[in-house]
Chain A
């Protein structure tokens, strides 16, 4: 908890405690608190292996046995399975306790190999630590130890050494209970019990790396980290993952100035210690050979050549100044940047340069006034036991995987009812309370029907039972949170907004949680990297000191910028870590824009497709290389910290902005990160009370409450576009493993990117007489024809066709047209 989170509330009252005695001291436990936790809180560590505070206790390893007397005499009890009861007497130091723990430790070690010197876990191993602390030093076990084939890969990322395994059930419990991917399991029985996969069915979970982190021995190791470093050589800082907008807290570890590992850090507010494999392993990209290490400029021969910072900055400034009319300049990107860098660039471009054609979203977002104006829920509020969550967006397992884990826990264990309004059924599967998967274009109409209770008849193929369940839940008085993102890149944001409006009408107390997925996109919107706003959601009419040149009228969004480039009214483009050629929803539009653009300036970390088409390239420091602040999808701030030096001449983005300002004869007014923060606090409402030093060090980080409230007038009834004679409507969404830079530049992750296939509902699939994997010709309304393999997809409603964005073999980008409400297509067997 932080001051900003609940400014008015008094200090929490002491909860009625449970008195108990621990090693002779009279102490108090919280109601229902497990003995092992209560003891830890009072400074008594009870050794354990199977217990993990974020998973159901199982009491299997027996290491945490302690002597407990509840009035019937002392008896050994597993402290991980026992809630403290009044007047319980606990002795963690008695002879029976230590004898039992010594015995368990000896038994755990008899079959454990002594290969600690070559074990990744050596040096940070609970078993090793306990053996060192309490072990006898010599084994009485003279028999042959258990033998298994040494490490076997159980997935592309994780290896399993069954000889080291102590069968604590942590990895298997995680897979089943937390991730919902029970692909590893105890196999066989007794002393032969082993953890393994089903033959030829690998542990292909997006969350597999967590099992490595929670393994209490070195049985599970991660391919990217194997033999990369010794724990005692690691240096570490706490930071925040910028891979997506959840803002998972991480420990960033380096050895010899290289990032070698990222571990999850347990934050109550966000990730509970868990990470997706993308958050965990995408650090590999920092070492990519595609990293930009020096400024580059295109010479007269049209070749990119390295140059000095001064020259590159001058050239970039000249291009912007030459444009004369700021309306001829467009800026894309900014979600990669820290909050401080976002502020610096926003001030440079808007405050000094009067540019408002700035969009941190690449056609896959929602209008900034909506995102900034929504009454926000925190993740914890969305997951509040007994609540209702409406999912109006893509499958969070693909786009925001750690948020998915929180939601999954809420649904599985805390009685949260999920109403799924995604265009395609999500990974929640049968655990949803109501499944409403509308056809593209219909979600606004569907939400309106729910709002008005018109649920007696089927709407768009959705069964009345599902509709009435959803209607009942929305009006049940249970707290409702709408998680809103862009579930379908082939459907215009206006349609999503109309659904939002209807849901709000149905229940005025509804809260919203943004599911915009790009790293620090919420920070970017907050700092004004979006048309029509100054930082903090302030209108262009607000006068901010130092922002005297701020634009007078609302600029263009990403689609507008690219269209203007195509029609020649915009000729200079600045890319702030954006790659529109690969990443903008409408690939055809982006390509056409690049054909006509005059000058492209790219501030980036990698040589992407768009960057390689730039005229001036300014190398930036990336995650792990620069300090700063992150704002997650709740509006929560947390620190991003440098651990290693950027390669070559890469610099933090905000410094590049200050240099640009200086070269243009201006002054952003700050020379240190501290200065930037001070100015944000001074200029941006909501940041005034942030104490960057102490608040960001807090476990959960402070929340910045939105300045604006929802007063925007919404087009509540975006009409359902009439269906033409094209039979199917397109759904385009993202997979976790896609051709985004962080994945393609991470050697361990790149092989996980799959081929795009066209999914059709089973009914449509059989209507077309297809077999799985058959090629089909896809013709976009008014557009071209593509050939793609098709599969039956039972997550889709009849009449929809699905293709994931940015996978291999087929570019879904070329299926999309920015600005169209929906995309119609026709499918024929090839």
Chain B
């Protein structure tokens, strides 16, 4: 296979040099079929796992330090250990990928559904549970079809369902589709949604899923990519896994790099081994900024992450470096913006996302995010007032009190405020809307000011009333 090349049947995936743990089959056009999976070692890890005591399997995963790939980066093995000895318990697989800039779970689901199913069964077996729900984002019909077909094949072949592989082990994996709501990617909202409810997050405490999750029973929610690592770990062992990546973050990550780079794409990259500069400029990765423009800023971990700038380029992609520097790696989504980018417009776009996706459950997020959006819109329309810039920061403080995480700015003598933000909200969605505001205003306040007329616009609120309930 050619290195550093797009793979036509896996849009955006770049087959470069380096270890392949979860994307090893992506080169095959029929990688999603049962036949290809079997021919390339599929379900061998499952067979091996079923010969081990469940506790030993769980210990292996803990040893491997398999960090969650959904955004929070919490070790899966440790998370599993939080389950009280209460049954029934459930596994819910989070395939509701929708964080802005994130594109990797869909690829894994479309290209290698059997790998995920195998990971599901291994997890269920290790945790002693017999019902798993695989929650796929509603807007991904190809992923739904491929997983449905894969499950039908795996049930028929005896790898899922009653008496798996001829043993006494019986586990159901149920495919479930969402219907369009970013917040459902949050684990407690995902559980609400799976119960047939509005996807509104629950409060933690007391509703930590590991103790009170689906139907108020212990529930593990793991990301698709996290589980996709399990067959490899079971086959090769924890020690082998830890040989890849860094000590704190073993293994690989699927990273989507989009925006103003020459070769945007999804790369499987060893964790903690490369810097942002390597990814954006390295020939093995994106090959530089488009038109060789200057980098203005970049989002290191999806729309919820505070922005980084030129001076953070040499940080390694390692949570312990990125967090103190004021942001997060999140869901492996890097968005690069060159010097032509309008910071206010970019800021509004990300804020607008959170305003549209707020579930409406708690006051600060429901009211605050849409207020932020309205003020930013007004500024962009040339109807801003001088006090609006500080107002934006004030609204932000009502959602996320205290100093919001932000990158250092050595020129201005501004130190980094480490991640994560505080919140007055139930979940992190509202505080995420403050990230672009704080990042943009701290760094590009002059751009906001430039859009604000020195003579205030006459009447900013003269639009005729429109019933808010009339739209969809």
What residues of chain B lie closer than 8 Å to A107, measured between beta carbons?
A: 363-364, 366-368, 371, 395, 398
Question: Does B466 contact A191, Cβ atoms closer than 8 Å?
Answer: no
Would A100 and B469 be within 8 Å (CB), given that A143-B378, A190-B360 are in contact? no
Cα distance, A76 to B395, chains bound together (Å):
17
* B370 at interface, CB cutoff 8 A: yes
Of A55-63, A434-442, A646-654, A691-699, the one contacting chain B is A55-63
Would A60 and B426 be within 8 Å (CB), given that A100-B401, A162-B469 are in contact? yes
Cα distance, A131 to B455, chains bound together (Å):
32
Would A78 and B360 be within 8 Å (CB), given that A143-B374, A192-B468 are in contact? no
Interface flags, A142-168, vs B, CB<8A=1, else 0: 111011110000000000001000110
* B355 at interface, CB cutoff 8 A: yes
Which residue of the partner chain B has the closest CB to A196?
B469
What residues of chain A lie closer than 8 Å to B356, measured between beta carbons?
A: 190
* B11 at interface, CB cutoff 8 A: no
* A140 at interface, CB cutoff 8 A: yes
Residue of A65, A111, A143, A190 touching B424 (CB-CB under 8 A): A65
What residues of chain A lie closer than 8 Å to B359, measured between beta carbons?
A: 189-190
Interface flags, B416-433, vs A, CB<8A=1, else 0: 000000111110000000
Which residue of the partner chain A has the closest CB to B365?
A190
Question: Does A190 contact B370, Cβ atoms closer than 8 Å?
Answer: yes
Question: Does A149 contact B467, Cβ atoms closer than 8 Å?
Answer: yes
Residue of A81, A82, A108, A189 touching B360 (CB-CB under 8 A): A189
What residues of chain A lie closer than 8 Å to B148, measured between beta carbons?
A: none
Interface flags, B274-292, vs A, CB<8A=1, else 0: 0000000000000000000
Which residue of the partner chain A has the closest CB to B459?
A142
Cα distance, A142 to B423, chains bound together (Å):
25
* B412 at interface, CB cutoff 8 A: no
Question: Does B460 contact A190, Cβ atoms closer than 8 Å?
Answer: no
Cα distance, A162 to B360, chains bound together (Å):
14
What residues of chain B lie closer than 8 Å to A81, measured between beta carbons?
A: 203, 205-206
* B222 at interface, CB cutoff 8 A: no
User: How many B residues are at the interface, by size bracket?
Assistant: 35 or more
Cα distance, A71 to B422, chains bound together (Å):
17
Interface flags, B366-390, vs A, CB<8A=1, else 0: 1111110011001000000101000
* A104 at interface, CB cutoff 8 A: yes
* B63 at interface, CB cutoff 8 A: no
What residues of chain B lie closer than 8 Å to A188, measured between beta carbons?
A: 360, 469
Would A186 and B360 be within 8 Å (CB), given that A100-B424, A192-B471 are in contact? yes
* A96 at interface, CB cutoff 8 A: yes
Cα distance, A111 to B369, chains bound together (Å):
13
Question: Does A144 contact B366, Cβ atoms closer than 8 Å?
Answer: no
Question: Does B468 contact A143, Cβ atoms closer than 8 Å?
Answer: no
In the assembled complex, 26 residue pairs joining A and B whose CB atoms fall closer than 8 Å, in A order, are: A62-B364, A65-B424, A76-B423, A78-B203, A81-B205, A82-B205, A100-B398, A103-B364, A103-B398, A103-B424, A104-B364, A141-B371, A142-B385, A143-B378, A146-B468, A147-B468, A148-B467, A148-B468, A149-B469, A186-B198, A188-B469, A189-B358, A189-B360, A190-B357, A192-B360, A192-B471
* B442 at interface, CB cutoff 8 A: no
What residues of chain A lie closer than 8 Å to B371, measured between beta carbons?
A: 107, 110, 141, 143
Question: Does A60 contact B363, Cβ atoms closer than 8 Å?
Answer: yes
Cα distance, A62 to B368, chains bound together (Å):
13
Cα distance, A62 to B363, chains bound together (Å):
7
* B463 at interface, CB cutoff 8 A: yes
Within 8 A of B (CB), among A51-108: 58-63, 65, 75-76, 78, 81-82, 96, 99-100, 102-104, 106-108
Would A104 and B398 be within 8 Å (CB), given that A60-B362, A62-B362, A190-B370 are in contact? yes
Interface flags, A557-598, vs B, CB<8A=1, else 0: 000000000000000000000000000000000000000000
Question: Does A194 contact B469, Cβ atoms closer than 8 Å?
Answer: yes
Question: Does B461 contact A142, Cβ atoms closer than 8 Å?
Answer: yes
Interface flags, A187-202, vs B, CB<8A=1, else 0: 0111111100000000
Question: Does A167 contact B360, Cβ atoms closer than 8 Å?
Answer: yes
Question: Does B469 contact A192, Cβ atoms closer than 8 Å?
Answer: yes
> What's the nearest-Cβ distance from chain B to residue A102, in Å?
8
Interface flags, B134-156, vs A, CB<8A=1, else 0: 00000000000000000000000
Question: Does B370 contact A191, Cβ atoms closer than 8 Å?
Answer: yes
> What's the nearest-Cβ distance from chain A to residue B178, in Å?
14
Question: Does A190 contact B355, Cβ atoms closer than 8 Å?
Answer: yes
Which residue of the partner chain B has the closest CB to A168?
B363
Residue of A75, A148, A191 touching B358 (CB-CB under 8 A): A191
Which residue of the partner chain A has the closest CB to B463?
A144
Cα distance, A102 to B402, chains bound together (Å):
14
Residue of B198, B387, B424, B460 touching A62 (CB-CB under 8 A): B424
* B181 at interface, CB cutoff 8 A: yes
Question: Does A190 contact B366, Cβ atoms closer than 8 Å?
Answer: yes
What residues of chain B lie closer than 8 Å to A149, measured between beta carbons?
A: 467, 469
A190-B355, A190-B360, A191-B468 are known; give 17 further A-B pairs, CB within 8 A: A60-B361, A62-B424, A76-B423, A81-B205, A81-B206, A96-B401, A96-B402, A104-B398, A106-B398, A107-B364, A143-B374, A144-B466, A146-B468, A148-B467, A189-B181, A190-B357, A191-B367
* B8 at interface, CB cutoff 8 A: no
> What's the nearest-Cβ distance from chain A to residue B466, in Å?
6
Which residue of the partner chain B has the closest CB to A95?
B401
> What's the nearest-Cβ distance from chain B to residue A193, in Å?
4
Which residue of the partner chain B has the closest CB to A166?
B363
Question: Does B465 contact A76, Cβ atoms closer than 8 Å?
Answer: no
What residues of chain B lie closer than 8 Å to A166, measured between beta carbons?
A: 363
Interface flags, A111-147, vs B, CB<8A=1, else 0: 1000000000000000000000000000011111011
> What's the nearest-Cβ distance from chain B to residue A415, in Å?
15
Cα distance, A110 to B378, chains bound together (Å):
16
* B271 at interface, CB cutoff 8 A: no
> What's the nearest-Cβ distance from chain A to residue B35, in Å?
42
- Sorted nearest first, the 6 A-B pairs with minimum C-beta distance are A103-B398, A193-B360, A107-B367, A191-B370, A190-B358, A147-B465
> What's the nearest-Cβ distance from chain B to residue A777, in Å?
46
What residues of chain B lie closer than 8 Å to A102, measured between beta carbons?
A: 398
* B397 at interface, CB cutoff 8 A: yes
Which residue of the partner chain A has the closest CB to B387?
A140
What residues of chain A lie closer than 8 Å to B425, measured between beta carbons?
A: 62
> What's the nearest-Cβ distance from chain A to residue B184, in Å?
11
Question: Does B367 contact A144, Cβ atoms closer than 8 Å?
Answer: no
What residues of chain B lie closer than 8 Å to A63, measured between beta carbons?
A: 363
What residues of chain A lie closer than 8 Å to B385, measured between beta carbons?
A: 142
* B72 at interface, CB cutoff 8 A: no
Of the listed residues A108, A140, A188, A192, the one surrounded by the most CB atoms of chain B closer than 10 A to its CB is: A192
Would A191 and B203 be within 8 Å (CB), given that A76-B401, A147-B468 are in contact? no
Question: Does B355 contact A99, Cβ atoms closer than 8 Å?
Answer: no
Question: Does B203 contact A59, Cβ atoms closer than 8 Å?
Answer: yes
What residues of chain B lie closer than 8 Å to A191, measured between beta carbons?
A: 355, 358, 360, 366-367, 369-370, 468
